[in-house]
A and B are shown apart, each in its own frame.
Chain A
């Protein structure tokens, strides 16, 4: 693949990871983790691992986001630290 496209994906990967770490609102962090998983799936696909990317897209961007949002609904929205 084009290295420029992979560079853009890596930059967005870093941005989403930093937002998910630093955000005070846990719902924002959950959505950013979902975006992280989707960008990771795109990167796996550009590296040629289509099966791994498919699994990452389905599990990381699909089910994990739903389960994280359910966990947030059961507890609290804001972090303490």
Chain B
């Protein structure tokens, strides 16, 4: 963003606040299957913690936290995790996203559903985080920010 007069207080405050928002985002993702929240909300919280650094300090400091050219590959990786889980369950003889058929040894059907939902929520969170960061980066591109 337009960082005409960089304020060290704002930079220090956002650097203090950003990891706590990120930890809360991970909490929401990992508790998504038995409490409110899930992949979308947790991914949005992770994106907010990245955008906070991006809006307070320019791209040079923000690139130390999350490189902007990594956004598109990570978004594609999240989609691959989601559809890969569903298609593996389909190949093993079930329906699409039928978690009971996932080939993880030593787990019962209930545990397989538990872990399957966690895996696809990690994929959703990764995609939502990177796509929201990508939207911000493309909105401010072309301007002399920091």
Using CB atoms and an 8 Å cutoff, list the residues of chain A in contact with chain B.
50-51, 54-55, 58-59, 62-63, 66-67, 69-71, 73-74
**B48 to nearest A CB, angstroms?**
5
CB pairs A–B below 8 angstroms (28 shown):
A50-B36, A51-B37, A54-B36, A54-B37, A54-B41, A55-B40, A55-B41, A58-B41, A58-B44, A58-B48, A62-B44, A62-B48, A63-B47, A63-B48, A63-B51, A63-B132, A66-B51, A66-B55, A67-B139, A70-B1, A70-B139, A71-B139, A73-B1, A73-B2, A73-B140, A73-B143, A74-B139, A74-B140
Query: Which DSSP category, helix, strand, loop or mixed, fits chain B's interface?
Result: helix
* B: interface residue count bin: 10 to 19
- Is B135 engaged at the interface, CB distance under 8 Å to the other chain? yes
- Is B136 engaged at the interface, CB distance under 8 Å to the other chain? yes
With A and B bound together, what is the CA distance between A51 and B47 in angstroms?
19
Query: Which DSSP category, helix, strand, loop or mixed, fits chain A's interface?
Result: helix
- Is B71 engaged at the interface, CB distance under 8 Å to the other chain? no
Residues from chain A with a CB closer than 8 A to the CB of B38 are 51
Tell me the nearest residue of chain A to B55, going by C-beta.
A66
**Do A51 and B140 touch (CB < 8 A)?**
no
With A and B bound together, what is the CA distance between A3 and B47 in angstroms?
35
